[in-house]
Amino acid sequence: MHSSSDKPLSLFSLTWLLFVDFALHFLTAAINTFMISHVSYQGVAALSVGNMVFELAITLFSFVSIGASVVITQYLGSKNKSAASAVVYSSIGFNFLVGLVAAAAILLGSTTILNLMNLPAELMADGKLYLHIVGLCLIPEAMAMCLAAGMRAHGFTQQAMWVTLSMNIITFVGNLLLLYGWFGIPQMGVAGVAISTVAGRLVGGTIMVVLFVRYTGIKLHIPSILRPETKMLKKVFHIGLPAAGENLSWMLQFMVVTSFVGLMGDKALAAQSLYFQICMFILLFGLSIGIGNEIIIGHMVGAKKLKAAEHQMYRALKLGLMVTTVVALVAAVLGQIW
């Protein structure tokens, strides 16, 4: 076990690693969009709706992972590592069930979902195929998010970042092979992009399990995972539901807008996909500061340093507002120039 929880955590040391980690997460969708745009804009449009459905599922999983991260840091701050382990087990077990339901909903209701999103009829086949393949990795993705949250809560943000980087490399190489047909491999279009994405997520999830056990020293006890503790889940939900609820409302709002854009045709939908990537990049800065701040405040609250936690909250709020405002203004100016 590598110990990190006893070291003082700084907002900068956490934030820049979280920024890179989240940027790499968003980069997966950006890589897919960029690479398939060289093949056809119809593919970009088909991926647009599929990616939003996938991101909605990720947002649902974050209810648990965000709450678990904060509760774990509170227990670590109070030196209660056994309770922190119990939170890890309970969050993984519950997210496994959520991932199972989400995967089943996507596999069985893909046609209904795409019709609600007003995906053009000529893109329906590609859209369904993409959702069916990507839906397969929702279960391991849901569990991996809890493992990543646990690693960050212990202060090991750099290790989670390297896992995300490996996922992107696998996705990129997979697209070269299956989308562009390198080395004589048949070009598979949207299906190739989906397979590359799933392969990257599955390999990344496997690496995450190994690193989690190695660095946190918490063994993944299967019986404990399959029997989540109601007491721990209540604490996780108390924090996670309000926190992730904000992201859920934002995501649903964007999906409603996209459903109207879908009525305008595949070209408009492709343009909307590019716009969505830019919005996620702007959000990235504030998100990194916010999650890093949650980790620090969690440790302070666990150690009963309430005044210091309050001061830290306002300090991070000011920083987040300033950075996000600057990034949004830069994006607006560059948008006019380009």
As a whole number, mean pLDDT of residues 49-72 equals 82
Structure confidence by residue, pLDDT tens digits, 264-317: 888 888 888 877 777 777 877 887 787 777 767 776 777 788 888 888 888 888
Structure confidence by residue, pLDDT tens digits, 211-235: 999 988 888 888 888 888 888 988 8
Residue 159 lies in a domain: yes
What's the pLDDT band for 21 if we cut at 50, 70, 90? low
Residue 109 lies in a domain: yes
Residue 101 structural domain: 29-265
The confidence score (pLDDT) of residue 5 equals 44
What's the pLDDT band for 90 if we cut at 50, 70, 90? very high
**Residue 59 pLDDT more than 70?**
yes
Look at the chain and report how many structural domains it folds into. 1
The confidence score (pLDDT) of residue 100 equals 92
Q: Measure Cα distances from 251 to 98, 141, 182, 225, 257 in Å.
A: 18, 18, 36, 29, 10
Q: Which residue has the higher pLDDT, 277 or 173?
A: 173
**Residue 3 pLDDT more than 60?**
no
Alpha helices (H) in the chain, listed in sequence order: 11-37, 41-77, 81-116, 124-135, 138-153, 157-178, 190-216, 222-226, 230-262, 266-302, 306-337
Residue 121's Cβ-count burial label (10 Å; 0-12, 13-18, 19+) is: exposed
Give the predicted TM-score (pTM) of the model.
0.78
Q: How far apart are the first and last CA of the chain?
A: 50
How far apart, in whole angstroms, are the C-alpha atoms of residue 5 and residue 194?
37
As a whole number, mean pLDDT of residues 56-62 equals 81
What's the pLDDT band for 91 if we cut at 50, 70, 90? very high
How far apart, in whole angstroms, are the C-alpha atoms of residue 109 and residue 151?
34
Listed in sequence order, the residues at least 6 apart from 213 whose beta carbon sits closer than 8 Å to its beta carbon are 219, 220
Residue 170 lies in a domain: yes
The confidence score (pLDDT) of residue 199 equals 92
What's the pLDDT band for 97 if we cut at 50, 70, 90? very high
DSSP conformation letters of 105-142: HHHHHHHHHHHHTT--GGGHHHHHHHHHHHHTTHHHHH
b/e burial code for range 279-316 (CB count within 10 A of at least 16 → b): ebbebbbbbbbbbbbbbbbbbbbbeeeeeebeebeeeb
Structure confidence by residue, pLDDT tens digits, 195-213: 998 999 899 889 999 999 9
b/e burial code for range 256-267 (CB count within 10 A of at least 16 → b): eebbebbeeebe
Residue 233 lies in a domain: yes
Residue 73 lies in a domain: yes
Residue 142 lies in a domain: yes
Residue 291 lies in a domain: no
Residue 280 lies in a domain: no
Q: Of 273, 225, 311, 218, nearest to 5 (Cα)? A: 218
Q: Of 223, 218, 289, nearest to 1 (Cα)? A: 218
Q: Measure Cα distances from 98 to 103, 106, 195, 290 in Å.
A: 9, 12, 22, 25
How far apart, in whole angstroms, are the C-alpha atoms of residue 117 and residue 62?
23
Structure confidence by residue, pLDDT tens digits, 123-166: 888 889 988 888 888 888 888 888 988 888 888 877 877 888 88
Handedness of CA 237, 247, 305, 85 (dihedral sign): positive
**Residue 193 pLDDT more than 50?**
yes
The confidence score (pLDDT) of residue 309 equals 84
How far apart, in whole angstroms, are the C-alpha atoms of residue 313 and residue 158?
23
Listed in sequence order, the residues at least 6 apart from 176 whose beta carbon sits closer than 8 Å to its beta carbon are 182
